[in-house]
């Protein structure tokens, strides 16, 4: 945890938003869909995902990488996925959101646990 607290503020914001989006996404999957609560939590999740994607552009210790391509994808796909829901294309909305949750949070998040990365140090010590 000490290494996290000593990380740059942008990294702390990015990681906190990512962890929050992961938890909120899991809650969204567990709760009933549709209605005001789903919509409010969904907009909060979209806001967290936008914060994650935007903050990633300030985190580039070795220049831009393939992760930044995912950030661009997320920035484009989030508004499109919301638009699908607003236009009643719920199946397309659902799969878009599931894809972003799995691809942009779970899979890319797993890469942050590799040895030598900050989150590896936070989770596993070192």
Q: Do 21 and 13 form a contact (C-beta atoms < 8 A)?
A: no
How many CB atoms sit inside 10 A of residue 5's CB?
8
* pLDDT, mean over the chain: 92
pLDDT at 126 over 80: no
Q: Which of 22-26, 50-54, 62-66 has the lowest mean pLDDT?
A: 62-66
- For the stretch 65-100, pLDDT in tens is 888 999 999 999 999 999 999 999 999 999 999 999
pLDDT at 104 over 90: yes
Q: What is the pLDDT of residue 64?
A: 83
Q: What is the pLDDT of residue 67?
A: 85
Distance CA 81, CA 33 (A): 15
pLDDT at 43 over 90: yes
For the chain, how are helix, strand and coil distributed in percent, rounded to 5?
A: 80, 0, 20
CA angle in degrees (0–180, nearest 5) for 13-18-24: 125
Buried b (16+ CB within 10 A) or exposed e, 80-114: ebbebbeeeeeeebeebbeebbeebbeebbeebee
pLDDT at 25 over 70: yes
More confident residue, 120 or 31: 31
Q: What are residue 60's phi and psi, to 5 degrees?
A: -150, 75
Task: Give the whole-number percent of the chain exceeding pLDDT 90.
Answer: 71
Distance CA 104, CA 86 (A): 22
Give the structural domain span for 102. 2-124
Query: Structural domain tally of the chain?
Result: 1
Q: Which of 44-48, 66-70, 79-83, 102-106 has the lowest mean pLDDT?
A: 66-70
């Amino acid at each position: 945890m000490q290494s996290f607290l000593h990380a740059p503020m942008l990294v702390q914001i990015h990681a906190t938003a990512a962890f929050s989006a992961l938890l909120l996404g899991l809650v969204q999957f567990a709760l009933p869909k549709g209605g005001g609560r789903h919509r409010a939590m969904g907009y909060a999740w979209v806001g967290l995902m936008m914060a994650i994607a935007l903050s990633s552009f300030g985190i580039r210790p070795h220049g831009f990488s393939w992760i930044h391509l995912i950030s661009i994808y997320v920035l484009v796909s989030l508004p499109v996925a919301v638009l699908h829901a607003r236009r009643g294309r719920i199946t397309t909305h659902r799969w878009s959101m599931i894809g972003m949750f799995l691809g942009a949070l779970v899979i890319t998040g797993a890469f942050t646990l590799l040895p030598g990365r900050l989150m590896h140090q936070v989770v596993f010590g070192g």
